[in-house]
Amino acid sequence: MRQVTETLRVRVPATSGNLGPGFDSLGMAHGIYDEVEATLIAGKTTVDILGEGQGELPTDESHLVVRALMRGFEFAGLPLAGVRMVCRNGISQSRGLGSSAAAVVAGLTLAAGFLGRPDLFTKEDVLTLATEFEGHPDNAAPAVYGGAVVSWSESGRSHAASLDLHPELRTTLLVPTDVLPTSTARAALPTSVPHVDAAFNASRSALLVHALGHDLDLLHEATRDRLHQEYRSSSMPATAEVLDALRSSGWPAVISGAGPAILVLDELDAQTCRILEARGFAVTTPGIGEGARIVES
């Protein structure tokens, strides 16, 4: 295996994990992207960051995209001397929009592109290696494949199956100014849940797969959850209040990943958008995103 090019650019989407009941297994990509340009060099690694995370994220080899790129080269059995990287970030950080998964998938996709052997470094390899970083594949899978996916891991490998989506499906993202580290949101979860709640979520997850592709009227019922959202509500009270209000009004709204952003599997009306914007939420209708791909430099 050899490096066939010196400069590549990759585009990776924002994602929402869970989609309500599909804890750590269902996810969706949005039309919001990070774009990373990388040039292989013989000298010291440098990272320039534009947009989200500028002035906050590391600019050396400890940057998550660089670490993932290095892991990809390690997977291929090749050394990585250094890289000059420019990250143009459109994905908000620490909001539950998969910014860390996007960074990891960006680095691994760049590695696969540099190596130039898609038969030996597949999308499933990218997903499996990304899951090493993330611990679960629900954000990495839609970042790799785009659209909506169900993902799982077995015997050290991660897998994903793309879901059919109804042509009239629309989405709205509500992004607050507040941030919430994923580690904090994870810490709020119990170590065990009642069997009845697990059964409830299993039924709603199955219903959600059907609703997304075939019956949008079922989305409100299909997005009910008992495994994680209520447990995390005290960590994001403003989000929890808005989520309850939206669902009480019939909107199929869920916490995006670990939060505090909210995903609505519908397009909100103008009046509701104005009310939410007045409460400090940025309202966007990003559309369904494409999976990670190399783009022309």
Per-residue model confidence as pLDDT tens digits over 197-256: 999 999 999 999 999 999 999 999 999 999 999 999 999 999 999 999 999 999 999 999
Whether the ω angle into residue 286 lies within 30 degrees of 0, i.e. cis, is: no
β 7-17/82-89 pair status: unpaired
Whether residue 63 has pLDDT greater than 50:
yes
pTM across the whole model? 0.94
Task: Read off the pLDDT of each residue in 150-155 and give the average, rounded to a whole number.
Answer: 96
The predicted pLDDT at position 1 comes to 47
List the chain domain ranges. 7-164+288-295, 172-284
The predicted pLDDT at position 5 comes to 61
The predicted pLDDT at position 6 comes to 81
Contact 46, 37 (CB under 8 A): no
The string of pLDDT tens digits covering residues 25-35 is 999 999 999 99
Contact 116, 3 (CB under 8 A): yes
Q: Supply 238's token pair.
A: 């403003």
Query: How remote is the C-alpha of 151 from its chain's centroid?
Result: 12
User: Which fold, 7-164+288-295?
Assistant: Ribosomal Protein S5; domain 2 (3.30.230)
- 295 by DSSP, 3-state: which? strand
Query: Dihedral (C-alpha) 267, 273, 276, 277: value to the nearest 10 degrees?
Result: 130
Torsions phi, psi for 25 (to 5 deg) = -135, -35
**Among residues of the chain, what percentage have pLDDT more than 70?**
98
Across the chain, what does the average pLDDT equal?
94
- What band does 4 get if pLDDT is binned at 50, 70 and 90? low
Helix (H) or strand (E) holding 44, with range, is none
Task: Read off the pLDDT of each residue in 61-86 and give the average, rounded to a whole number.
Answer: 93
The string of pLDDT tens digits covering residues 155-198 is 999 999 999 999 999 999 999 998 878 788 788 888 999 999 99
CATH number of 172-284, picked from 3.40.50.300, 1.25.50.10, 3.30.70.890, 3.30.300.30: 3.30.70.890
The predicted pLDDT at position 48 comes to 96
Contact 71, 107 (CB under 8 A): yes
